[in-house]
């Protein structure tokens, strides 16, 4: 089928390429001329504006938006809402907050435009392995766009999980779980790395754990590669960002009165990783010195 694709960053460019490889006709738009040129070389048609992109698509149109969450997504969807027509389908595959997707779905539905929120997981490996797609929104619109989802996903890797907002809600929780998994692996490897008397080969242990153990996973495959390339990870700074979904998951857990200590602590560990030195730790050191005479290390 013919689809418009907005956003040609790391994910968007690879998704466009996978769609082209699956036999779809893609008209792509990005603010960057270089990104558009790269898409042209892969076989995509391109447009130099959202208006031109919409005009290049036959009705009913299907347009996929893959831009950063927040203001870029808001502006893009608002602009497309003025250009699309009754019966068209707009898909947001970015990491939008699910409450925003509920609001956008309602606003677009009032204009006769179907909205699908597609939580997308797969990262830079998605081109080769496929993307897991968690989709919320109108069932009929999902059916129309399903050939696109099936091309992007591996076998059984896409599903409509509920009404508007459900796709990004499930992706939000998915990312919260990811935070906790990463933290668990990080703590385990740090404990082993600290046991100097054994000189443990963490790359070999990653590979070993992936052969039948209950903690085997794709993340361990990536860990094996990372440790093989640089055993001590000396060039990697332990500064870990979060893109919002972990925070939203913790807030949702509190809102629903669900205890989620592992996810919550993994989020806080990311925040801690960005401090060169913790002021709170200084307070503790000062108080221990005050009440117990414990030594304080000076800067």
Kindly name the residue from 25, 74, 129, 178 that is annotated as catalytic: 178
What is the end-to-end Cα distance of the chain in Å, rounded? Answer: 64
Kindly name the residue from 17, 171, 224, 245 that is annotated as catalytic: 171
> What is the full per-residue pLDDT of the chain (299 aa) written as tens digits?
999 999 999 999 999 999 999 999 999 999 999 999 999 999 999 999 999 999 999 999 999 999 999 999 999 999 999 999 999 999 999 999 999 999 999 999 999 999 999 999 998 899 999 999 999 999 999 999 999 999 999 999 999 999 999 999 999 999 999 999 999 999 999 999 999 999 999 999 999 999 999 999 999 999 999 999 999 999 999 999 988 999 999 999 999 999 999 999 999 999 999 999 899 999 999 999 999 999 998 87
DSSP for 259-271 reads --HHHHHHHHHHH
Question: 295's torsion region: left (phi>0), alpha (psi -120 to 50) or beta?
Answer: beta
Catalytic-residue membership of 178: yes
> What six digits make up the tokens of 262?
């592992």
Contacts of 230 (CB under 8 A, 6+ apart): 236
**What are the structural domains of the chain?**
2-163 (3.40.50.720), 172-281 (1.10.1040.10)
CA separation, residue 6 to residues 108, 200, 217 (Å): 17, 47, 32
- How buried is 265 (Cβ within 10 angstroms: 0-12 exposed, 13-18 middle, 19+ buried)? middle
């Amino acid at each position: 089928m013919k689809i418009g694709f907005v956003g040609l960053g790391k994910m968007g460019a690879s998704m466009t390429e996978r769609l082209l490889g699956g036999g779809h006709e893609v008209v792509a738009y990005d603010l960057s001329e270089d990104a558009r040129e790269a898409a042209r070389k892969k076989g995509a048609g391109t447009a130099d504006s959202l208006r031109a992109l919409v005009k290049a698509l036959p009705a009913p149109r299907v347009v996929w938006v893959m831009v950063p969450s927040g203001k870029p997504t808001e502006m893009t969807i608002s602009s497309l809402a003025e250009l699309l027509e009754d019966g068209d389908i707009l898909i947001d595959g970015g990491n939008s907050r699910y409450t925003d997707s509920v609001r956008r779905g309602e606003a677009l539905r009032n204009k006769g435009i179907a909205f699908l929120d597609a939580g997308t997981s797969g990262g830079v490996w998605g081109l080769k392995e496929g993307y897991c797609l968690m989709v919320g929104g109108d069932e009929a619109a999902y059916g129309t766009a399903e050939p696109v989802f099936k091309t992007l996903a591996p076998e059984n890797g896409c599903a409509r999980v509920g009404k508007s907002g459900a796709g990004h809600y499930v992706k939000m929780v998915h990312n919260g779980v990811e935070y906790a998994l990463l933290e668990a692996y990080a703590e385990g490897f740090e404990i082993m790395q600290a046991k100097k008397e054994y000189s443990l080969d963490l790359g070999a242990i990653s590979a070993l754990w992936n052969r039948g153990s209950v903690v085997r996973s794709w993340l361990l495959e990536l860990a094996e590669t990372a440790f093989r390339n640089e055993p001590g990870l000396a060039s990697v700074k332990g500064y870990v960002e979060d893109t919002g979904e972990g925070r939203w998951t913790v807030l949702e857990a509190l809102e629903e009165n669900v205890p989620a200590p592992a996810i919550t602590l993994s989020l806080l560990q990311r925040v801690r990783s960005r401090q060169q030195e913790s002021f709170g730790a200084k307070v503790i050191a000062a108080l221990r010195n005050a009440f117990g005479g414990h030594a304080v290390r000076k800067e």
